[in-house]
Copies of this chain bind each other. A is one copy, B any other.
Amino acid sequence: MKKTKTSVVAESNALSKTALRRQREREHRYESILTVAEILFAREGYLQASMEKIADSAEVSVGTLYFYFKNKEDILVRLLDKISFELRELLGSEFRKADFSLDGIKRAGQFFFEEFCIKHPEKLTIIFKESMGKSAMVEEYRKQIFDRLISDVQEALMRLSENRGLKYQSSLSPELMAVSILGMYERIAYHFLIGQDRSKELKTISKDTVAFIMGGINNLCRQ
């Protein structure tokens, strides 16, 4: 959110009561716009979700949208930020919990399906579909986000191999595996959960996915 004059001006570094309330309200409004945009972008598509529709749904005026965000692209980009942050948190925490063991991969996979895809299909739609092919700027942003996700996974894979005393076939292998794994999860989520609803088979999907990945990983390792 934009730094507002008031917050900077505030005497000492404590904010007055009114200023505090104002800031809370501002943040609340900022979040509620993002939430509304998330739903609309996912449901109607980024292009069809006009600024007017967003404003109406968020129960603010169009002008207010432009107070909180530079422009429409900016809303999308902030949303991508938020979603990718949540996703990285979710996956990272599972990996850490499992101490970067093979089990971490399993748990992260399960969590991706069960906690992220099933519970927040809109978020999925936005990072994997609605943010594509919109503009050079968004594309660039998306790339950064995905690169960060990829390097997260890559790092996890490298720690994993260290833990197990193994090395990867080539220096490229961890990166390629990270990209592959993300690609798999993306398409699997899309195919089984968004395109059609086969969430009942989720257990099998999850198990097979992890098995496939394990096989792949092992095949790219040597002692």
Contact = CB atoms under 8 A, between A and B. Distances in A.
Interface stretch (A27-35, A78-86, A89-97, A176-184): A176-184
Contacts of A150: 191
A133 B135 contact: no
A184 B179 CA distance: 7
Interface string A203-223: 011001101111111111000
Contact of A186 (B170, B183, B201): B183
B176 A209 contact: yes
Interface string A82-123: 000000000000000000000000000000000000000000
Given A169-B211, A195-B143, A220-B215, A187 B183 contact: yes
B186 A187 contact: yes
Interface in A22-53: 45-47
Given A214-B219, A219-B214, A191 B179 contact: yes
Nearest to A206: B176
A135 B45 CA distance: 8
Which of A132, A133, A205, A211 has the most B CB atoms < 10 Å from its CB? A133
Contacts of A133: 45-47, 129-134
Interface residues of A, number: 47
A188 interface: yes
Q: How many copies does the complex hold?
A: 4
Contacts of A185: 183
A121 to B, nearest CB: 15
A172 interface: yes
A176 B46 contact: no
Contact of A188 (B170, B180, B218): B180
B215 A218 contact: yes
A173 interface: yes
Contacts of A177: 208, 212
Interface of A: 45-47, 129-136, 143, 146, 150, 169-170, 172-173, 176-177, 179-180, 182-188, 191-192, 195, 201, 204-205, 208-209, 211-220
> Nearest 4 A-B pairs (CB), nearest first?
A215-B219, A183-B187, A212-B216, A215-B215
